[in-house]
A and B are shown apart, each in its own frame.
Chain A
Amino acid sequence: MALLEVCGYRDGDRSAGPFGTRGTVMDRSSHFSFGMKTAEFAVPVGVDPQAFLSPYTAGEGDVRIHLNHGTTTLAFKFQHGVVVAVDSRASAGNYIASKDANKVIEINPYLLGTMSGSAADCQYWERLLAKECRLFKLRNKERISVCAASKLLSNMMCEYRGMGLSMGSMICGWDKQGPGLYYVDDNGTRLSGQLFSTGCGSSYAYGVVDSGYRYDLSMEEAYDLGRRAIAHATHRDAYSGGVVNLYHMRQDGWIKICKDDVAELIHQYALESK
């Protein structure tokens, strides 16, 4: 078939894919390295992480590795840009490892990435994304668009599908098309939208934000909505807590608005409602 030849599909060519073991029809042009030599993890030949992990994640045996996205993050677009609000509790199973973790990664002055899921995965892949964004800017003399940055991250996630990554991230920025907000997931989902919330406290945060969200919020109202949503989510969700880190992405870059302790916020809201 002409199209098969164009696609470069060769029957029986099973050597393409990370670690040289996974057979795939996709072209191995290492898209997230822009054609430079493949940036892969150095592992011994014959390693197949997907096959190794699938009994533990897909769950036939007694042992299940179940990764919680133990956090609450949210971001929404409104008339003045994008508001990003995150909690700051880092949990390791039942142990609170840190009450002051920073879950927003400042990729560059015009791009922010949030973290939920495995902290290690988020930090590593978003730092890699920061490197690729910087290389893009040096090669092309203009800043990368939010759409392209989120696509790079999504391609990295698709490359390592089924190998145990856990990352739910929102890429927020301001580029030539205006404010941009994308949700990128470890199973390859990439969605653009007006409002997203991730993590196990996200259902509580959605409840608060959905009741108060309008596109024409003022800046103060938007900050208050973000703070309120995270505070209420931390009140009910065991894996979220600490402080609310609030950022505002504007046309000339992001600014950090506040870092408010959720306990004080909850007291304040309780007093207000009396």
Chain B
Amino acid sequence: MEYLIGIQGPDFVLVAADTIAANSIIQMKHDHDKMFKLSEKILMLCVGEAGDTVQFAEYIQKNVQLYKMRNGEEELCITVTVAEAWLVGWCLCGLKICNPNGLFASETGVSFLALGKRGVKEGIWKGVLCRARVTDYVFWCVCTDLTRDEAVELLKKCLEELKKRFILSLPSFNVRLIDKDGIKDLEKLPLAAA
């Protein structure tokens, strides 16, 4: 059971993913990084079936590198065919080199659970909670005029709501910010100590 969040601002993207790697009911690893760097400014977050996530993400990573080697520049608009065999929900976000941000989310079998979120100002943003499989959640939203600090505050509110309603305890999240200068690690967000 995993969780990914992406928030797109006017000139940046803020993403967070939980850091638990689990095997049925046992947490095997508490500092697992679910974000895969595809290029200097493109990050892919993957959740889903155990081996599939890593294999799929590394496949895409290596092919992007190969393309760069062959063609001398990166693919600006990455479109990926998600084959049905891959049970992976992923969130692809990053800066296109000359264009404004793109934040894409795509899952096989998406069902839109909720539009909007309690407790955050209406009218400024529009968020969508997608359910990739019964147990994995991907949340992404597009905001028109959010500053970086407001985005981090929004993220913290999302995580508090998660702590309140999600059936599992997800103690820590990796947070990264992508803007025209590249990918930056922000501090890990622990949910408030119980």
The answer to whether A189 and B51 touch (CB under 8 A), given A196-B28, A202-B26, is yes
A188 touches B50 (CB 8 A): yes
A25 proximity list for chain B (CB < 8 A): 59, 81, 83, 85
Which A residues between 1 and 34 are near B, CB-CB below 8 angstroms? 1-4, 6-7, 9, 23-26
B51 touches A187 (CB 8 A): yes
B48 to chain A minimum Cβ distance, whole angstroms, is 11
B51 touches A157 (CB 8 A): yes
A203 touches B70 (CB 8 A): no
The answer to whether A188 and B63 touch (CB under 8 A), given A9-B81, A196-B28, A206-B26, is no
The answer to whether A185 and B23 touch (CB under 8 A), given A1-B79, A3-B75, is yes
A3 touches B85 (CB 8 A): no
**In the bound complex, CA of A1 to CA of B32 (Å):** 33
**In the bound complex, CA of A2 to CA of B28 (Å):** 39
B54 touches A188 (CB 8 A): yes
Q: Does A191 touch B at the CB level, under 8 Å?
A: yes
A16 to chain B minimum Cβ distance, whole angstroms, is 12
Closest to B21 in A: A191
Q: Does B80 touch A at the CB level, under 8 Å?
A: yes
Which of A3, A196, A206 lies in contact with B79, CB distance below 8 A? A3
A7 touches B26 (CB 8 A): no
The answer to whether A6 and B70 touch (CB under 8 A), given A158-B51, A158-B55, is yes
B29 touches A193 (CB 8 A): yes
The answer to whether A188 and B78 touch (CB under 8 A), given A6-B67, A183-B28, A202-B26, is no
Q: Does A190 touch B at the CB level, under 8 Å?
A: yes
**In the bound complex, CA of A190 to CA of B71 (Å):** 32
B52 proximity list for chain A (CB < 8 A): 188
B79 proximity list for chain A (CB < 8 A): 1, 3
A114 proximity list for chain B (CB < 8 A): none
B26 to chain A minimum Cβ distance, whole angstroms, is 7
B23 touches A189 (CB 8 A): yes
Which A residues between 169 and 196 are near B, CB-CB below 8 angstroms? 183, 185, 187-191, 193, 196
Q: Does A245 touch B at the CB level, under 8 Å?
A: no
A1 proximity list for chain B (CB < 8 A): 79
Q: Does B66 touch A at the CB level, under 8 Å?
A: yes
B23 proximity list for chain A (CB < 8 A): 185, 189
The answer to whether A2 and B67 touch (CB under 8 A), given A158-B51, A188-B54, A189-B50, is yes
Q: How many residues of A contact B (CB 8 A)?
A: 27
Closest to A24 in B: B85
Of B50, B66, B67, B75, chain A has the most CB atoms within 10 Å of the CB of B50
B28 to chain A minimum Cβ distance, whole angstroms, is 6
**In the bound complex, CA of A7 to CA of B80 (Å):** 10
B19 to chain A minimum Cβ distance, whole angstroms, is 12
Q: Does B49 touch A at the CB level, under 8 Å?
A: yes
A9 proximity list for chain B (CB < 8 A): 81
Q: Does A154 touch B at the CB level, under 8 Å?
A: yes
Q: Does A161 touch B at the CB level, under 8 Å?
A: yes
Which A residues between 31 and 61 are near B, CB-CB below 8 angstroms? none
The answer to whether A26 and B78 touch (CB under 8 A), given A154-B51, A185-B23, A202-B26, is no
Closest to A203 in B: B26
**In the bound complex, CA of A231 to CA of B80 (Å):** 50
A183 proximity list for chain B (CB < 8 A): 28
The answer to whether A6 and B51 touch (CB under 8 A), given A1-B79, A185-B23, is no
A180 to chain B minimum Cβ distance, whole angstroms, is 14
A272 to chain B minimum Cβ distance, whole angstroms, is 29
| Contact digits for B1-45, partner A, Cβ 8 Å, 1 yes 0 no | 000000000000000000001010010110010000000000000
Give the A-binding residues of B (Cβ under 8 A): 21, 23, 26, 28-29, 32, 49-52, 54-55, 59, 63-64, 66-67, 70-71, 75, 78-81, 83, 85
Beyond known contacts A25-B59, A187-B51: 4 more, CB 8 A cutoff: A154-B51, A185-B50, A187-B49, A189-B28
Q: List 8 A-B contacts (CB under 8 A).
A: A6-B70, A7-B59, A9-B81, A188-B55, A190-B51, A191-B28, A193-B28, A193-B29
**Top 4 closest A-B pairs, CB basis?**
A188-B51, A189-B50, A187-B50, A6-B67
